[in-house]
Amino acid sequence: MAEVPSFLRQIIKETERMVAFFFKGTQGQDGGEEEEGEDEEESSAYLERPVLEKHLEEGSDRCGISYAVGSMQGWRSRMEDAHTCIPEMAADMSGWGYYAVYDGHAGNMVAEYCSRHLLDHILATGRIKAEDDPAEVKEGIREGFLNIDRHMHSLARSACWDCSGSTAAAVMFSPRRIYLINCGDSRVLLCRHGLVCFYTEDHKPCNPREKARIQNAGGSVTLQRVNGSLAVSRALGDFDFKEVAWRSQTEQLVSPEPEVFQLERSPADEFLVVACDGVWDAMDNEELCAFVRDRMQVTDDPREVCAQVIDLCLYKGSLDNISIIIIRLSGAPKVSPEALQREAALEQLIESKVADIYQELRSEDQGPDLLKVMKHLTSENIPGLPPGGGITSKRDCIIASYQKQVLKCKARKFTVREQKRQLLQALFLTFLQVNEKYINTLR
């Protein structure tokens, strides 16, 4: 294997420094409520460097709905997210689909189990039928959550499960309706007419309704956590918080009961996003909606949109596992020549600005590092940046432009050295010729 040139190693090193800059620069500033109660022991939950490998997949149903899912471990010491994508639920239920993200904590056993079996428990209630009675569907989803939580509780006692829990955010489609489901602080968002039409509410211990239930169950909310420990007030699993025998499942410190909302489907529905809090900690609803919508106009690969969202969340400072499902509906934006032209013009402008900054900051011996170029670029006024993403979303373009400047600088230095070598060689040959003539005159 050929050795990596030193200047490329430097680019890699500076890229890692840039990641660390965004990570450390946002930690403790906009980290959200969950970081406030963390102590030093939790530092082992994070890596020195993020795991950047992405897992991407896509699919579609027979009714024209397509989806893509992306996930990345990120800064967490292990991957605890799981997901389910079933575009066709059953042969006798044409037009029904199910998509869910499970955000595990304190382990991944509950999240993985739910990703394989939660829908089965929902369907086993017998309430989900092709006729699509909204009251029955909502009650079937609720019963399915309670049933699987009860079943896992017995398994945890008998099979020595870990102490993990998991949030769950899901979408269930029927031909006429969309059912939006949430238990915990993962979230579902619907974009309609280009705007956020609906999103689910996070279940946090500090919410008045959640706090009242926790206190009625004998607990407290400290540092915005259940008993100063758990950052969500509803979740599947977490059975250490569900041991008050004389209280029902929904009256425990942590409840497995989901909230289920229904919306009539509309031709103006563009897309749905189902994502864990690794996304929502970095972007709000409007930012994510605008960014996804903008990216759909420059690429027809939904996996690429997922990948760009994941990268953007990482560079905005997300410290969690990151998982996202984007479900493309009939009204979704399509790739347009105008959007592609704007994107090309934007990347040309960024390349030009990177070149100017590089030359401005370059010393006689070497060019500036990538971090310094990035910091200068953030202060520039650059029109046409992706809404919701800003300059951070163009980091691939910035790095490529920076690498081009480094290569030019290396090539220029090589050319100068080669010219000097050739000049010295010519001078040496001239010296030899003069010396030879002088010796001949002496003879």
Q: Over the stretch 150-174, which tens digit does the pLDDT of each residue have?
A: 999 999 888 778 889 999 999 999 9
Name the H helices within 231-387.
277-280, 285-296, 302-315, 337-361, 370-378
pLDDT for the residue 92: 83
Contact 21, 378 (CB under 8 A): no
Its sign, for the CA torsion 414, 420, 421, 422, is: positive
pLDDT for the residue 289: 98
Domain boundaries, the chain: 31-333, 339-415
Q: Do domains 31-333 and 339-415 have the same CATH topology?
A: no
Q: Which CATH class is domain 339-415?
A: mainly alpha
* Mean model confidence pLDDT for the chain: 87
Q: In CATH, which of 3.20.20.140, 3.30.2000.10, 3.60.40.10, 3.40.190.120 is domain 31-333?
A: 3.60.40.10
pLDDT for the residue 431: 63
Percentage above 90 pLDDT, the chain = 67
pLDDT per residue over 92-127, tens digit each? 888 899 999 999 999 999 999 999 999 999 999 999
From first CA to last CA, the distance across the chain in angstroms is 58
pLDDT for the residue 38: 44
Structure tokens at 119: 């829908």
pLDDT for the residue 177: 96
**Cα–Cα nearest to 278, from 311, 312, 319:** 319
Confidence of residue 255 (pLDDT cuts 50, 70, 90): very high
Residues 6+ apart with CB under 8 A from 204: 33, 185, 210, 224, 231, 232, 233
pLDDT per residue over 422-436, tens digit each? 666 666 666 666 666
- The SS3 call for residue 328 is strand
- The SS3 call for residue 363 is coil
> Whole-model pTM?
0.83
Q: What phi, psi does 439 have (nearest 5°)?
A: -65, -40
Residue 176 above 90 pLDDT? Answer: yes
